[in-house]
Amino acid sequence: MTDEPFKMPSSVSSEGLGTNLLAERFDNCLADLWMAFQPIVSAKEGSIFGFEALLRSREPSLPHPGAVLEAGERLGRLYEIGRTTRERAFQEIPEDSSFTLFLNLHPLDLSDEALIESVARRPELAPRLVLEVTERAALTDIADAKARLAELRALGCRIAIDDLGAGYSGLSSLVELEPDIVKLDMVMVRNLHQSRLKQRLVRSLVEICHELEIGVVAEGVEVEEERQALVESGCDFLQGYLLGKPRAGFGF
């Protein structure tokens, strides 16, 4: 017996893999990754407000975004994920459109000079960007995180708190980041119509956000009853399989 924690088989987790092999798989993944886009609609009208860009991997050993991020972290190559996904998403956005593009940031991306540069190079795009941050890795660990966010804001980007209510993104992030938008995690959305407590919480949160001029997006909306309860709670925007699954391009 050892005190070693249980390790997933290497086909599932990158843990325990040789660095060279992992690097090879990571290279393949980056060379071949694609972006899915999921619609975010206005709660009242159902019209498209924007799309969230979501990383998708074709590398079988790194099948989902979590695995890709974990590999990037282990290899010290996390920046490359952000750089590649931004490049792909910016390439794809049609110039004759005006929707908002939501992009996920890893907190470490904030210390990457290339992030600010990539936004500064596309001044016409910056006001259409919402950068989503979570507290998965505490932002307080990143030197100058707030200064970087301020720079991005000065370029015209908006900032969203992702996964609010999920545990790793708490109310303190509201105070800390003063976001333009909050994204309510799907744990708060799931079966909202069946929980008076959730309804009360969502309603209060929406009220506070509106007082602070923060827009509220509800994530992971799957059924009509949830949609209805969210509209009644005053949510501004909806995202989830009910409204549209993530897929290639900006179809709806």
Query: What residues make contact with ligand G under the rule CB under 6 A?
Result: 38, 54, 104, 162-163, 186, 219-222, 240-241, 246
What is the Cα–Cα distance from 72 to 68, expressed in whole angstroms?
Answer: 6
Q: Is there binding between residue 226 and Mn ion (CB under 5 A)?
A: no
What is the Cα–Cα distance from 192 to 202, expressed in whole angstroms?
Answer: 9
Q: Is there binding between residue 135 and Mn ion (CB under 5 A)?
A: no
Q: Is there binding between residue 233 and Mn ion (CB under 5 A)?
A: no
Q: Is there binding between residue 85 and Mn ion (CB under 5 A)?
A: no
Q: Which run of H or E residues covers position 87? A: helix 78-92
What is the Cα–Cα distance from 123 to 75, expressed in whole angstroms?
Answer: 32
Contact string (CB under 5 A) for Mn ion, positions 161-190, x = contact: -x----------------------------
34 binds, among Mn ion, ligand G, none (CB under 5 to 8 A by kind): none
Reference 156, options 119, 193, 195, 201; nearest CA is: 119
Reference 168, options 190, 194, 140; nearest CA is: 140
Tokens of 115: 């992030």
- Minimum Å distance from CB 96 to Mn ion? 26
- Minimum Å distance from CB 114 to ligand G? 21
- For residues 52 and 112, which CB has a smaller minimum distance to ligand G in the complex? 52
219 binds, among Mn ion, ligand G, none (CB under 5 to 8 A by kind): ligand G
- Minimum Å distance from CB 162 to ligand G? 5
Tally of CA atoms within 13 A in the half-sphere of 153 that contains its CB = 14
- For residues 156 and 246, which CB has a smaller minimum distance to Mn ion in the complex? 246
Burial class (CB in 10 A: 0-12, 13-18, 19+), 26: buried
- For residues 17 and 193, which CB has a smaller minimum distance to ligand G in the complex? 193
Site for Mn ion in 93-122 (CB under 5 A): 104
Q: Which residues contact 62 (CB under 8 A, 6 or more apart)?
A: 14, 25, 26, 29, 68, 71
Computed over its alpha carbons, how large is the radius of gyration of the chain? 19
240 binds, among ligand G, Mn ion, none (CB under 5 to 8 A by kind): ligand G
- Minimum Å distance from CB 132 to ligand G? 6
59 binds, among ligand G, Mn ion, none (CB under 5 to 8 A by kind): none
